[in-house]
Copies of this chain bind each other. A is one copy, B any other.
Amino acid sequence: MGTADRVARAVTPAHRNGRPAGELRGRDPERTRGRILDAATREFARYGLGGARVDRIAASAGANKRMLYYYFGDKDALFQEVLEHAYESIRSAEQELNLLDVDPVGGMARLIAFTWHYYIAHPEFLTLLNSENLHRGRHLRGSRRIRTTNSPLIATLDEILARGARAGTFRPGVDSLQLYISIAGLSYFYLSNNHTLSAVFGRELSGAEARAERLAHMTDVIIGYLTNTGPAPRPLRSE
């Protein structure tokens, strides 16, 4: 494979002006590039980075394989762009949550439900992250696009926690990043490991009813934890 050039050539042709809207005959580099990125997303999500095949991506995109290298450099660089794009999508969706418009409990419930439904609507996000972690974050570490997309969600979460604590409904001293990881993990694990879980425990987990139950449970866990303002039942943090 090799890290290779990673040229990518910053293609955003200046001639995007005078193109007739309906007329999509002939060449259209932007569309070609987009179709390859979409096809690559599907392929990487389904087979992982190691199992993905560039020939299949090209065929699925309806493009010549050479175009993949022309626009993206190599397989790894293509995967990196797919990843970056996936992150930008979820960040963009998070923007529209407006969690501070409602009370702390409501905001928290909304965040949980959003995370849950986003993962369901974008299963590729889960498997792409799994692939990237299998490769030890190699592609993300070399990406500046990711660092700049740094989630403002943590700051919002901080504010919700502060408001809730001030009002006395939430316990104080909660680490917002830990909480975010917990909220994400509750959804992520259930959905990402759906197959092994239902195989091992012999219970249907992907039906609408099971999913509604799961969302209710996760919400109970997080809200129940946050609103438990009494003293810890016992400090056995040993073991």
Contact = CB atoms under 8 A, between A and B. Distances in A.
A141 interface: yes
Contacts of A221: 182, 221-222, 225
Given A50-B51, A181-B189, A194 B133 contact: yes
Given A185-B185, A189-B181, A133 B195 contact: yes
Nearest to A114: B239
Nearest to A51: B50
A142 B98 CA distance: 46
Contacts of A50: 47-48, 50-52
B203 A177 contact: yes
Interface stretch (A19-27, A63-71, A146-154): A146-154
A175 to B, nearest CB: 6
Given A188-B189, A190-B181, A232-B220, A48 B134 contact: yes
Contacts of A192: 130, 133
Given A129-B193, A130-B192, 11 more contacts: A105-B236, A133-B192, A137-B199, A146-B200, A171-B224, A177-B203, A186-B186, A216-B237, A220-B232, A224-B232, A225-B225
Interface of A: 47-52, 87, 105-106, 109-110, 113, 127, 129-134, 136-137, 140-141, 146-147, 150-151, 154, 169, 171, 175, 177-179, 181-182, 184-186, 188-190, 192-203, 213-214, 216-228, 230, 232-234, 236-237, 239
